[in-house]
Amino acid sequence: MLEGALKVVQFLDIEGATKTSTLFVIGGGIIQDVAGFAACIYKRGIPWTYVPTTFLAQSDSGMGSKAGLNYNGAKNILAIFSAPRTVIMHPSFLETLEEEDLLSGLGECFRLCVTGGDVFLARFRERLEHFIHGDRTVLSEMLVTALLVKRAVIEYDEFELNVRRAMNYGHSLGHALEALTENRIPHGTAVVLGMLIENEIAVSRGVQLAECAHDLLCTAAKLVNAHCLELLVQTDFLSVVSLLAKDKKSEGKTIKLALLHAPGHIAFHSLKLDDDTRSIIETAAGSVATKLSAYTDPRREAVY
């Protein structure tokens, strides 16, 4: 990804871009990260406009100020704050997306609505039922619901000094799952699975009620297709601790996980980066896989 950012820098240089130029970035989250990173470092930053074309980018990454590049097998380890001057979103792009891409975007919507609290979660669930029965027109409503949560958090804490850190819920283990499966699990789906695994850990530590974890799993099961579930079952967690050690929330020999107490209430809890934590994560992931496997959803077989 760093090479990609440097190619954008080369393009800007060849075209004679100046501080008064505007770089237009059209595409999904990876394009956003690469081009946003380049725009920020070129001549100490030039303006850029973003047109997100995926549901994942429209529902989450398109709003904010982050640009992160993967490096040496670690997710977003090269990262800066780089906000576009303008974001132009058009729901028509969603009409061309495959089911996998829509489920991935819905995963981030789900995470944001859980973070927002019961009112937002209820709105998401209502519209999800319409989507499951074939109504794709509700995607725009789900998008707006998720972005209301994201906007409120960013306006309060743009540079992740306080409450915005709660946006990492599901991401530490979600990013690890992406790496462990060589990115065969889409980002939004990996975040959903990361949420569920973290919920299992939260229950085991007595910070989340089992009823809450079960309630969220029932909704999340509708967002995880058979292919991704099988990848979770097959995942070897032997190197998960070394991956977490590269996470931006790691501090020395511990990592702070954003654990959900209840919808709308997240706090950080420290876990040691050792074999005991690996075992905890492996057990939690196994429990999630077992529970999802028992959940019957006819759409799973229809996907792909």
Structural domain boundaries of the chain?
2-92, 98-302
pTM, to two decimals: 0.88
Least confident of 47-56, 94-103, 161-170: 161-170
Q: What is the pLDDT of residues 72-110, one digit of tens each?
A: 877 778 988 888 999 999 989 998 999 899 999 999 999
Q: Average model confidence (pLDDT) for the chain?
A: 90
Domain 2-92 and domain 98-302, same fold? Reply is: no
Q: What is the pLDDT of residues 189-245, one digit of tens each?
A: 999 999 999 999 999 999 999 999 999 999 999 999 999 999 999 999 999 999 999
Q: What is the pLDDT of residues 112-138, one digit of tens each?
A: 999 999 999 999 999 999 998 889 889
- Residue 301: pLDDT band (50, 70, 90) is very low
Structure tokens belonging to residue 251: 């501090």
Within 8 A by CB and 6+ apart from 169, the residues are 111, 114, 115, 195, 198, 258, 259, 260, 266
- Which of the listed CATH numbers 1.20.1090.10, 1.10.10.60, 3.90.79.10, 3.90.1570.10 matches domain 98-302? 1.20.1090.10
Instruction: Please compute the mean of the pLDDT values over residues 247-262 and round it to a whole number.
Output: 88
In degrees and rounded to multiples of 5, residue 74 shows phi and psi of -105, 140
Q: Residue 6 above 50 pLDDT? A: yes
Least confident of 112-116, 162-166, 168-172, 259-263: 162-166
Handedness of CA 77, 165, 90, 104 (dihedral sign): positive
- Which of the listed CATH numbers 3.40.50.1970, 3.40.50.300, 3.40.1280.10, 3.30.479.20 matches domain 2-92? 3.40.50.1970
